[in-house]
Amino acid sequence: MTTVAAPYAGTALDRVDGPEKVTGRARYAYENLPADLAYAVVVQATVSRGEVRAVDADSVLQLPGMIAAIWHENAPRLAPVEDAELTVLQSPRVAYRGQVVAIVVAETLESATEAARLLRVDYRAEPHDVELRADHPGMYRPDHVNPNYATDSELGDPDTALAFASVVVDATYTTPAQHHNPIEPHATVALWDADGLTLYDATQSASGVRATIAPLFALPPESVRVISPYVGGGFGGKGAPHAQVVLAALAAKQVGRPVKLAATRRQMFAVTGYRTPTVQRVRLGADEDGRLSAIVHEAFEQTATIKEFAEQTTVVTRMMYAAPHRRTSHRLVRLDVPIPTWMRAPGETPGMFALESAMDELAVACGIDPVELRVRNEPTIDPERGLPFSSRNLVACLREGAERFGWAGRDPEPGVRRRGRQLIGTGVASSTYPVYRLPSQASARAEPGGGFTVRIAAADIGTGARTVLTQIAADALRVPPAQVRMEVGDSALPRASVAGGSSGTASWGTAVLRACEALMAALHRRSGDVPPGGLEASADTAEELRSQRPLSRHAYGAQFAEVGVDLDTGEVRVLRLLGAFAAGRIINPKTARSQFIGGMTMGLSMALLEESVMDLEFGDYLNRDLAQYHVAACADVRDVDAFWIEEEDPELNPMGSKGIGEIGIVGTAAAIANAVYHATGIRVRDLPIRLDRLIGGGI
């Protein structure tokens, strides 16, 4: 495979949808106003486990403007499907506090909101179990971990290697539950007509929602259309449909009118997914020079009783560093908690916090510079799969990042640098993310009046997909980007894979490129003549993807942090954060930089602020809004920057690109925690790095 020489790919084109977004013309899901619209609001369970005994629907139906109150006894029946998250209002069982037990529909949002508040639901409550502990007796070994990795792995004899290692790090790290909190809440407008069901939905996958929702209503997929041209952030939370999509469709069916439904910010903490909390034990065995002989990484996580999601927290450890003896494992416990799901770099994000913190501890224990330690343990082939890397430039990222950051001459002594009332420290961590590519289809059309239309049911959730696909198409069609009209975000377009796994550009870009090439060939056969009806060609990449040869394909990076820790309050400020990345060819430097620093900003937020606190008494997350679940604000984010090194990798896809949407968050929290250690001498192994963990640690 050769990569295509390209004049537009590689240029910093402004976002093609920028003007729509800055003028307020971009229409997001909830902003569709079909005629005769009704408003729905959900009612959530106030017990964590038990049964709904009765719902006093009749009382609220007397409220002015009320149309319906729907619960399990009067809800339309859904076809049984395996995913219990989606079979809403079909049974009296309550599996977690906050689960939807009823939905009210009214003429106005105000009336529906009031009715939802007044609706009386009687429960038979049962004792709940919501606390994740590594020694929970219910811990089990899942069949596989997300998306389809082996649950455990073992090579050599790690126990013996640890017993004989000169230096051993054995530490337990924890990460709390985290909620995606895209600024656009999950929302759906559902509309039934003679053709079937139309859903204006906030989703990362129009094709995926169609395929998932159709069987629930016993419809062929062609009878469901999902429209989502603009999506206000997803971060994995909008990757698969959640209850609100089904609820909107079900309510619209029941009342015979279009229905609008959005999860409120507070409801989102129970019904739209989150990242599981983790308890992780990492053991590293090394010789005095820091060369690893053993790596053991074990993760303990939670899932819901009605659906399993097994985050692949330790999978990243299988390929990061060389060591002859190694073991990774995942154990889960089913609790009476909301359903966890994908959240930006599931697996790598919590896993690399633990592994990269442990590597820093090893560097300290061996008295070796942490950049040097990582370089020393660089593998020549994928250590567990035994495959060559398609390209691996971690060392270049570490070296070049260290150079630009000014790492040289760093005094490793912790707790000795003061600036005013702050202790100053620096830290480093590696980043990585796998290269995924999924089958997709696309079409390209030469319009009779000039210009081209390229169609694919891709999703631009803020990644810049619409823009980079325009660039890819423009190159293939040999025209300026202004002559390409890119249509995405509609299941009526050629079927595309989910905006997930940082796979969008690779998956959709391949399909777009192949469709454009097919169109160019067809035009060539006609000597460039476009018939009056236009000329169209399409492509499906399934075959091309099957022929990809087995290699270990990943993007890499290194993140460097400088922190200041207030001596009096323990407040941590990230003074500088620099990311160095190696991610194949960068198709748009402007949107790519935004992706990298956006991920790093979320990583900073995770390191210092984000924590969903489980209320053991009531059995749900306690801090259910943005005043209590803190995400980084403008004043928290100072000098954050990213750059990338040139990387040619012909074994990826025709663009030569690796995904960049998630790698930015991987390793950030470890780099910051390592910098906090360097500043204060206190090793924080439990995120977030709260003031009390430093004050309590004796700052």
- Residues in contact with ligand FES by the rule CB under 6 A: 183, 233, 462
| CA 333 and chain centroid, separation | 22
Asked if residue 276 lies in contact with residue 301, where contact means CB atoms within 8 angstroms, the answer is yes
Instruction: Please list every residue from 241 through 280 that binds another protein, using CB under 8 A.
Output: 262, 264-265
End-to-end CA distance of the chain: 56
**Whole-angstrom Cα distance, residue 445 to residue 382?**
42
Rule CB under 8 A: is residue 404 a binding residue for another protein? no
Rule CB under 8 A: is residue 562 a binding residue for another protein? no
For tokens 């619409």, what's the residue? 466
Mask of contacts with another protein, 102-131, x by CB under 8 A?
A: ------xxxx--x---x-x-----------
Q: Considering CB distances under 5 to 8 angstroms, the limit depending on partner class, which of ligand FES, another protein, none binds residue 591?
A: another protein
What minimum distance in Å lies between the beta carbon of 86 and ligand FES?
27
**Segment lying near another protein (by CB under 8 A), choices 71-79, 121-129, 346-354, 624-632:** 624-632
**Whole-angstrom Cα distance, residue 25 to residue 230?**
10
Rule CB under 8 A: is residue 464 a binding residue for another protein? yes
The token duo for 134 is 């590594």
What does the DSSP assignment read for 624-660? Answer: -STTTS----GGG--EEEEEE-----TTS-TT-B---
* Residue 225, beta-bridge partner list: 198
Rule CB under 8 A: is residue 74 a binding residue for another protein? no
Among 638, 648, 650, 696, interactor with another protein by CB under 8 A? 638
Mask of contacts with another protein, 163-202, x by CB under 8 A?
A: -----------------xxxxxx-----------------
Q: Which residue is nearest to ligand FES (CB)?
A: 183
Rule CB under 8 A: is residue 56 a binding residue for another protein? yes
**Segment lying near another protein (by CB under 8 A), choices 27-35, 81-89, 155-163, 318-326:** 27-35
CB atoms within 10 A of CB 14: 12
Among 28, 164, 436, 643, interactor with another protein by CB under 8 A? 28
Judged by beta carbon, residue 230 or residue 407, the one nearer ligand FES is 230
**Segment lying near another protein (by CB under 8 A), choices 21-29, 293-301, 412-420, 525-533:** 21-29
Taking CA atoms, 266 is separated from 79, 90, 141, 604, 627, in Å, by 29, 24, 32, 23, 11
Helices then strands, each counted (H, E), the chain: 16, 26
Judged by beta carbon, residue 266 or residue 417, the one nearer ligand FES is 266
**Whole-angstrom Cα distance, residue 676 to residue 682?**
7
426 contact partners, CB below 8 Å, separation of at least 6: 405, 407, 410, 560, 561, 562, 563, 675, 678
Q: How many residues bind another protein (CB under 8 A)?
A: 74
Judged by beta carbon, residue 24 or residue 220, the one nearer another protein is 24
Among 18, 80, 138, 650, interactor with another protein by CB under 8 A? 18
What minimum distance in Å lies between the beta carbon of 26 and another protein?
6
**Whole-angstrom Cα distance, residue 559 to residue 592?**
16
**Whole-angstrom Cα distance, residue 557 to residue 381?**
18
Rg for the chain, CA atoms, rounded: 26
Q: Considering CB distances under 5 to 8 angstroms, the limit depending on partner class, which of another protein, ligand FES, none binds residue 417?
A: none
Single-letter residue type at 467: T
Q: Considering CB distances under 5 to 8 angstroms, the limit depending on partner class, which of another protein, ligand FES, none binds residue 74?
A: none
Among 59, 172, 174, 453, interactor with another protein by CB under 8 A? 59
For tokens 């139906």, what's the residue? 61
Concerning whether 131 is annotated as a catalytic residue, the answer is: no
Judged by beta carbon, residue 12 or residue 633, the one nearer ligand FES is 633
Q: Considering CB distances under 5 to 8 angstroms, the limit depending on partner class, which of another protein, ligand FES, none binds residue 181?
A: another protein
Annotated catalytic residues are 662
